[in-house]
Chain A
Amino acid sequence: MKEITYLEAIKEAMDEEMARDPGVFVLGEDVGVYGGAFRATEGFYEKYGEWRVLDTPLSESGFTGAAIGAALVGMRPIVEMQFADFISCAFDQLVNVAAKNHYRWGAATPIVVRAPYGGNIHGGAFHSQCIEGFFFNVPGLKIIAPSTAYDAKGLLKAAIRDNDPVIYCEHKYLYRRIKDSIPDEDYIVPIGKARIAREGNDVSVITYGAMVHTALETAQLLEENGVSCEIVDLRTILPLDKKSILGSVKKTSKVVVLHEQTKTGGVGAEVSALLSEYCFDFLDGPILRVAAPDTPVPYSAQMEEAFIPQTKDVVAAVEKVMRY
């Protein structure tokens, strides 16, 4: 066992998979000599050489398309978006090519697109977005979003070994802020399975990514008031682990859905719909959503704090649903 950060977990996962499988390679902007904007590939260039750690032109559609083509002939590329926000430039290749190859003509496309996402880092509208919603409505893609260092490593390894295109949402705010003890042996965390981050009986808080930590703080505070929160960390956003979501809510009968993504048409909207469709008889109160407002991500600290759901917002939502 050793303690590593979320960012180190990401780096270790790639490093170990590259050492294990010569088909795995990394491409993206400044991932080579420089080691990546967030240093996720530091030292890789020296270790694996310029043909497995490729600095690309500033050309998201071009290098994402290239990753797809390499995957079609047996490689397992990892695409690094410098910031998740720039994935919009590769939207067509991901949505129309990668996601549909297998369904349309039976060709597997094992690519991983690493997307450093999320706010709370004073990055403004183009360096803070949650991008999972852009792709949530695209069958054929898998979307994962780890909240712990342990999951960051295990899920990334699973994604690299998976035969489908996976968008790996890594939260920038967590990079150096959280740590976990990680086993020395190889392990994976399966795609498609949520995790109960904290057990509880009174209300389920369903969330993912950095908001898991906000939910944990909420649970801690409310415990003092005698409210027991269960926290469901989705881990995989597409496809959703419906069994875990429904299982928790059937137990608690009350639910708050929490995410940093903006509210309208977000993951929380789908989770809410699922619950009302399959779990209505078990509910003892309205399904409440806590999410960012429907605005671009603002820059100033005061406004960004108002934009990103805070512990107090989640506490208020839980207290509200507890009144039913």
Chain B
Amino acid sequence: MDIKREDLLRLYYYLKLTRRLEDRVTSLYHQGRILGGAWTSNGTEAVSVGYGYALEKNDIAAPYFRDMGVFLIRGITAKRIMAQYMGKKTGVTGGKEGNVHIGDLNFGVFGFPSHLADNYPVGTGAALAFKIRNEKRIVAACTGDGGTSRGDFHEGMNFASARKLPIVFICNNNQYAYSTPLRLQMAIKDIAERALAYAIPSKIVDGNNVVEVYKAAMEAYDIARNGGGPSFIECKTMRMHGHSEHDSARYVPRELLEEWKKKDPILTMEKYLMENTIAGKEELDGIDSQVKKEIEEAEAFAEESPYPDSEDCLKGVYATPIEEERGI
């Protein structure tokens, strides 16, 4: 499969945008300038950028919380995300939610519920709707390695497979669920083995190589779009920060981090682009300058944005509110 130069450069741009946005969020977190915690995808950006970029406009993403690349690619701007992190009215959810708890149906992104793997069955339902309505749309649903031990991971995949639904399940296997390493999470070697139980074809990819993730996603989406049913993609990668920015991740062996540092997804992509003479250093630096500017603008926008009104707290519980408190 050949990837157009233009697409390769976009993939690079989104890797950079994701990294710089989350790096900035991390700094702001340490300065006490965002509200609550900061969960980043540092070191694993190629997963969300790769599977997010392979989606078509009318497809649906049912993400989890280390999927910043997906949010950005779908069209949720850095401005709105930064404002979300600061709990501002202009944030993606207007202050109702924070940080990576993002969803926006205008961009085909399902909200991320904290409960890991909940989006596997929810994504399956959107795929079911597409099948019922005979639409050529697909769903990509993602969770972490930790989420794959939950019932909903299995219930979603089983249902999708029994009905051959147009969905692709992605797993960001970053080797840890908070502090718990894979060996204490499961006895199997590859998470992809779990898909086998549901007769779902799977692929294991280098989760630090955005081109590989993108290609695997494109292939799987194509199968799903053409009636071939679900696939599973296990992206092997490494979480390079703590679980969230409060966590120093002392429990991760330093050598492991050193080893994975060399495989950084951005370095990997830069090397690929330059070695294949797709882009030179100058061009990549140009992309990076653009990204930096975008992040600065996003931060300024978020800083200047108003906070929500406290009365907004009472609004939006129901889509069809019932005339409340009648007579009281």
Contacting B152 at CB < 8 Å: which of A92, A236, A247? A92
Closest B-chain residue to A99, C-beta based? Answer: B317
Q: Check A74 against B129 for contact (C-beta < 8 Å).
A: yes
Contact A191 B155 (CB under 8 A): no
Name the CB-closest residue of A to B92.
A105
Which of chain B's residues has its CB closest to A49's CB? B132
Q: Encode B87-103 as 1/0 by CB contact (under 8 A) with A.
A: 00000111011000111
Indicate which residue in A66, A73, A108 contacts B159 across the interface (CB closer than 8 Å).
A66
Indicate if B151 sits at the interface (CB-CB under 8 A). yes
Residue contact A72 to B105, C-beta cutoff 8 Å:
yes
The segment out of B120-128, B216-224, B299-307 that lies at the interface is B120-128
B125 touches A102 (CB 8 A): no
In the bound complex, do residue B129 and residue A68 qualify as a contact, i.e. CB atoms below 8 Å apart? Answer: no
Is B103 a contact of A107 with CB atoms below 8 Å? yes
Closest A-chain residue to B322, C-beta based? A192
Assess the B113–A96 pair: CB atoms within 8 A: yes
Task: Name the B residues within 8 Å of A73 (CB-CB).
Answer: 60, 126, 129-130
Contact of B155 among A54, A61, A105 (CB under 8 A): A61
Complex: A57 Cα to B101 Cα, angstroms: 30
Of the residues A63, A75, A101, contact of B129 by C-beta under 8 Å: A75
Inter-subunit contact A104/B101 (CB<8 Å)? yes
* Shortest CB distance B226–A (Å): 18
In the complex, per-residue mask of A38-82: 1 if CB is within 8 Å of any chain B CB, else 0: 000000000000011010110101111111111111110100000
A263 interface contact, C-beta 8 A:
no
Is B319 among interface residues, defined by CB-CB distance under 8 A?
A: yes
Please report which residues of chain B, range 71-128, place their CB below 8 angstroms from some CB of chain A when the two chains form the complex: 92-94, 96-97, 101-105, 110-111, 113-115, 118, 120-128
Number of interface residues of A (CB under 8 A): 54
Tell me which of A56, A70, A107 has the highest count of chain B C-beta atoms within 10 A of its own C-beta. Answer: A70
Given contacts A102-B318, A142-B318, contact A69 B121 (CB under 8 A): yes
Q: Which residue of B lies closest to A95 (CB)?
A: B115
Query: What's the Cα separation between A105 and B62 when bound, in Å?
Result: 14
User: Is B328 part of the binding interface, using a Cβ–Cβ cutoff of 8 Å?
Assistant: yes
CB distance from A284 to the nearest CB of B (A): 20
A138 to chain B, nearest CB (A): 10
**Which of B132, B158, B324, B326 contacts A59, CB < 8 Å?**
B158
Q: What's the least CB distance linking A43 to chain B, in Å? A: 20
Do B322 and A68 have beta carbons less than 8 Å apart? Answer: no
Of A51, A65, A242, the residue contacting B122 (CB under 8 A) is: A65
Contact of A57 among B114, B132, B155 (CB under 8 A): B155
A192 to B325, CA, bound (A): 11
In the bound complex, residues from chain B placing their C-beta under 8 Å from that of A285 are none
Q: Taking the complex as formed, is A222 at the interface, i.e. its CB lies under 8 A from any CB of chain B? A: no
A62, B152: Cβ atoms under 8 Å?
A: yes
State the interface size on chain B (CB cutoff 8 A).
52
Chain B residues with Cβ below 8 Å from A103 are 96, 316-317
Which of these, A68, A139, A242, contacts B317 with CB under 8 Å? A139
CA of A320 to CA of B130, assembled, Å: 59
Task: Please indicate the chain A residues that have their CB under 8 angstroms from the CB of B102 in the complex.
Answer: 105
Bound Cα distance from A188 to B224, whole angstroms: 40
A168 to chain B, nearest CB (A): 15
Q: B124-159: contact bitstring with A at CB < 8 Å (1 yes, 0 no)?
A: 111111111000000100000000000110011011
Instruction: Please give me the residue from chain A that is nearest to B159 by CB atom.
Output: A62
Indicate if the CB atoms of A102 and B115 lie closer than 8 Å: no
| Interface pair B320/A163, CB less than 8 Å apart | yes
Flag if B124 contacts A25 (CB, 8 Å): no
Determine whether the beta carbon of B122 is less than 8 Å from that of A97: yes
In the complex, B258 has a CB within 8 A of chain A? no
Are B122 and A105 in contact (CB-based, < 8 A)? Answer: no
Instruction: Output the nearest chain B residue to A166 by Cβ-Cβ distance.
Output: B320
A26 CB to closest chain B CB (Å) equals 12
Give Cα distance in the complex from A142 to B327, angstroms: 20
Q: Cβ of A102 and Cβ of B319 under 8 Å apart?
A: yes
A142 to B317 alpha-carbon distance, docked (Å): 11
Q: Whole-angstrom distance between the alpha carbons of A187 and B205 in the complex?
A: 56
Tell me if B162 counts as interface (CB < 8 A to partner A). Answer: yes
Q: Hey, which chain B residues are within 8 Å of A72, CB to CB?
A: 105, 110, 122, 125-126
Q: Which residues on A sit within 8 Å (CB–CB) of B111?
A: 101, 104-105, 107
Chain B residues with Cβ under 8 A from A266's Cβ? none
Interface core residue of B101, B102, B316 (most chain A CB under 10 Å):
B316
12 A–B contacts from the bound complex (CB under 8 Å): A65-B152, A69-B121, A69-B129, A70-B125, A70-B126, A70-B128, A72-B126, A73-B60, A96-B118, A105-B104, A107-B110, A142-B318
Q: Which residues of A contact B (CB under 8 A)?
A: 25, 51-52, 54, 56-57, 59, 61-75, 77, 92-93, 96-97, 100-110, 139-140, 142, 162-164, 191-192, 236, 239, 241-243, 246-247, 278
Give 13 A-B pairs besides A66-B128, A243-B328 with Cβ atoms closer than 8 angstroms.
A57-B158, A65-B121, A68-B125, A69-B127, A93-B118, A104-B97, A104-B111, A105-B102, A142-B322, A163-B319, A164-B320, A242-B325, A242-B326
Ranked nearest first, the 4 interchain pairs of A and B with the lowest CB-CB distance are: A69-B125, A65-B121, A62-B155, A66-B125
